[in-house]
Amino acid sequence: MLNLFAVTNYFSMQLDVTRLILTMAVAFVIGLFIFFIYRVTFNGVMYSRSMNISYIMLTLVTSLMLMLISNNLTLSLGMVGALSIIRFRTAVKDPIDTVFMFWAVGEGIAIGVAFFLEAAIAAILIGLALVVMNIVRVKDSSNYLLIIHYTDDAANAVKALMKQLPKCTIKSKTVNKDAIELTLEVRLRQNELNFTEKLIKIDGILDAMLVSHKGDIVA
């Protein structure tokens, strides 16, 4: 009887290891897909590879946790209690990063409870939706910060420029003895970004810089 019990435990352990490997493999593939979609659709100011890799790890860890607690009520209650004391203090500046976090967690939950096909279909549909919305967004106008340094000789030219730019708003203005720094919020399309080269040809304009703006700067 003891030997039979040991053999049963052995095969049970082997099946658990097989399930673990399969679950981690599927979670890794889905996480790589999320990684690729984030990289392709990223439109922020500075791409963070570590942030993108965290989505892969988030998918893996979530699937592992769900696999462990799916058949153990005691462990699931203990896991909920342990997670309730965790505090995440990393600031997420772009709302789309939060979307990818929830996507990775959702895929990890589906994979952890062995809904492999559902997780794959959902990943493909969500990925396609993000790609389509990104294509539409590229064709649409976006917010930018236009920073201009100029002297008093170019004051009239800058005022005329502000009237020509669509939805132009003054965010800040700094006056020095030698030059004036003016920060404007404008909405431009991708094919309209080359006008900064024309600005520096105007007498009195020292330099012009265009920065992608996500709305986190308050005047």
Per the structure, the complete domain to which residue 186 belongs is given by 142-212
| pTM > 0.75 | no
51 and 131 co-located in one domain: yes
159 and 125 co-located in one domain: no
Tell me which of 139, 161, 187 is where a domain ends. Answer: 139
The answer to whether residue 49 is domain-embedded is yes
What count of Cα atoms within 13 Å lies in the side-chain half-sphere of residue 198?
7
- CA dihedral 84→90→91→94, nearest 10 degrees, is -100
In whole angstroms, give the CA distance from residue 31 to residue 26: 8
| Band of pLDDT at residue 92, cut at 50, 70 and 90 | low
In whole angstroms, give the CA distance from residue 205 to residue 180: 9
58 and 127 co-located in one domain: yes
Q: Which two tokens stand for residue 54?
A: 């965290």
99 and 11 co-located in one domain: yes
Q: What is the pLDDT of residues 142-158, one digit of tens each?
A: 677 788 888 887 878 77
Q: Which two tokens stand for residue 103?
A: 């996507």
99 and 68 co-located in one domain: yes
24 and 38 co-located in one domain: yes
153 and 134 co-located in one domain: no
Q: Count the domains in the chain.
A: 2
DSSP 139-202: HS-EEEEEEEEE-GGGHHHHHHHHHHSTT-EEEEEEE-SS-EEEEEEEEE-GGGGGGHHHHTTS
Asked if 59 contacts 27 with a C-beta cutoff of 8 angstroms, the reply is yes
Tell me which of 107, 139, 171 is where a domain ends. Answer: 139
125 and 170 co-located in one domain: no
175 and 146 co-located in one domain: yes
User: Worst-scoring range by mean pLDDT, 98-107, 171-180, 187-196, 200-209?
Assistant: 187-196
Taking CA atoms, 54 is separated from 82, 157, 205, in Å, by 21, 48, 44
Candidate ranges 11-20, 53-62, 79-88, 187-196; pick with highest mean pLDDT: 53-62
The answer to whether residue 15 is domain-embedded is yes
128 and 197 co-located in one domain: no
The answer to whether residue 178 is domain-embedded is yes
